[in-house]
Chain A
Amino acid sequence: MIVPFLSEALKLSAAFLYGSTGEIVIEKSGHLNLGIPGVMSVGGAVGCVTVYYLLKAKIYSTFLLLFLPLLTTIVAGGLMGLLYSFMTVTLRANQNVTGLALTSLGVGLAGYIMTQKGEAALIVGKTSKIFASLFQIQSENWFVKIFLSHGLLFYLAIIIAIVTQIVLNRTRVGLHLRAVGENPATADSAGINVTAYRYIATIIGSAIAAIGGHFTIMEYMGGNWEYILEGFGWLSVALVIFTVWRPALSILGSVIFGGLYIAAAYINVSFAQTELIKTIPYVITIIVLIITSIVGSKKAQPPASLGMNYFREER
Chain B
Amino acid sequence: MENAIEMKNITKTFGSVIANKNVSLEIRKGEILSVLGENGCGKTTLMNMIAGIYYPDEGQIFVNGEEVTIKNPKDAFRYKIGMIHQHFKLVDVFTAADNIILGEKMPEFNLRKEYKRLQKKYKGQFKALKAQEKTYFEEGGSRFTKEYGEIVRKETGVFNRALLHIGSLGWIKLWKHAKFNYLSAMRVKKLQAIVDTYGFQLDLSKKIYEMSVSEKQTVEIIKTLYRGAEILILDEPTAVLTPQEIRKLFEVLRIMRENGKAVVIITHKLNEVMEISDRVAVLRKGEHIATVNTRETNEKQLTEMMVGKKVDLNIARKDPVDPKPRLIIEHMTVKNRDGINAVDDVSFTVNGGEILGIAGISGNGQKELLEGIAGLQKVECGDIIFHNPKKNKPVTFFHHSLKKIKRMAAEGFFHYPNGEKVDLKGKRKKEIVELVNKEQILFYEDEIIDLRHRTPREIQELGIKLSFVPEDRLNMGLVGNMSIVDNMALRSYRKGKSVFVNKKRPKNLADTIIRDLEVVTPSDMTPVRRLSGGNVQKVLVGREISSSPKVLMAAYPVRGLDINSSYLIYNLLNQQKEKNVAVVFVGEDLDVLLALSDRLVVLSGGKVAGIVDARTVTKEEVGLMMLSRASVEDSKLFADALGKKQNDDEKEEGEND
Contacts and interface: CB of A to CB of B under 8 A. Distances in A.
Nearest to B73: A189
A216 to B, nearest CB: 32
Contacts of A312: 53
B94 interface: yes
Contacts of B91: 178-179, 182-183, 186-187
A299 B102 contact: no
The interface residues of chain B, by DSSP majority, are classed as loop
A91 to B, nearest CB: 20
A312 B51 CA distance: 13
Contacts of A178: 91, 93-94
B74 interface: yes
A183 B209 CA distance: 13
Contacts of B93: 178, 182, 298-299, 301, 304
A175 B77 contact: no
Interface string B64-100: 0000000011100100000101000111111000110
Contacts of B178: 171-173
Interface string B44-55: 000000010110
Contact of B89 (A171, A185, A301): A185
Interface residues of A, number: 27
B53 A187 contact: no
A190 B226 CA distance: 12
Contacts of B73: 188-191
Interface in A124-176: 170-176
B137 interface: no
Contacts of B90: 183, 186
User: For A175, A189, A298, A312, which residue has the most chain B Cβ atoms within 10 angstroms?
Assistant: A189
B337 A296 contact: yes
A58 interface: no
A182 B94 contact: yes
Contacts of B77: 191
B340 interface: no
B102 A176 contact: yes
A175 B102 contact: yes
Contact of B103 (A183, A192, A296, A301): A192
A170 B93 CA distance: 15
A38 B178 CA distance: 34
The interface residues of chain A, by DSSP majority, are classed as helix
Contacts of B207: 298
B338 interface: yes
B88 to A, nearest CB: 8
Given A170-B179, A171-B179, A179-B91, A190 B102 contact: yes
B106 interface: yes
B597 to A, nearest CB: 35
Nearest to A185: B89
Contacts of B74: 191
Contact of B180 (A172, A296, A301): A172
Contacts of B180: 170-172, 174-175
A170 B90 CA distance: 19
Contact of A298 (B83, B179, B209): B209
A313 B19 CA distance: 14
A158 B5 CA distance: 54
A199 B53 CA distance: 21
A314 to B, nearest CB: 10
A313 B13 CA distance: 12
User: For B54, B91, B180, which residue has the most chain A Cβ atoms within 10 angstroms?
Assistant: B91
Contacts of A170: 179-180
Interface in B263-295: none
B234 to A, nearest CB: 14
B500 interface: no
User: For B54, B94, B337, B338, which residue has the most chain A Cβ atoms within 10 angstroms?
Assistant: B94
B89 A189 contact: yes
Nearest to A299: B93
Contacts of A182: 91-94
B159 interface: no
Contacts of B144: none
Interface string B327-340: 00000000001100
Interface in B80-133: 83, 85, 89-94, 98-99, 102-104, 106
Contacts of B398: none
Contacts of A176: 102-103
Nearest to B19: A315
B102 to A, nearest CB: 5
A141 B83 CA distance: 64
Nearest to B338: A296
Contacts of A171: 178-180
A298 B337 contact: no
Contacts of A313: 54
A183 B337 CA distance: 23
Nearest to A169: B180
B177 to A, nearest CB: 9
B53 A186 contact: no
Nearest to A315: B14
A187 B209 contact: no
Contacts of B209: 298
B557 to A, nearest CB: 23
Interface string A241-273: 000000000000000000000000000000000
Nearest to B207: A298
A174 B98 CA distance: 12
Nearest to B102: A190
A279 to B, nearest CB: 32
Given A191-B73, A296-B337, A172 B53 contact: no
B481 to A, nearest CB: 13
Contacts of B99: 186
User: For A172, A176, A304, which residue has the most chain B Cβ atoms within 10 angstroms?
Assistant: A172
A176 B77 CA distance: 17
B532 to A, nearest CB: 9
B4 to A, nearest CB: 20
Given A173-B178, A313-B54, A179 B94 contact: yes
B449 to A, nearest CB: 34
A192 to B, nearest CB: 5
Interface of B: 14, 51, 53-54, 72-74, 77, 83, 85, 89-94, 98-99, 102-104, 106, 178-180, 207, 209, 337-338
9 contacts: A172-B179, A174-B180, A185-B89, A186-B99, A188-B72, A190-B102, A298-B209, A301-B93, A313-B54
Interface of A: 170-176, 178-179, 182-183, 185-192, 296, 298-299, 301, 304, 312-313, 315
- Which are the 4 A-B pairs with shortest beta-carbon distances? A190-B103, A186-B89, A191-B74, A191-B103
Given A175-B94, A190-B89, A192-B102, 9 more contacts: A170-B179, A175-B102, A182-B92, A188-B72, A190-B73, A191-B77, A298-B209, A304-B92, A304-B93
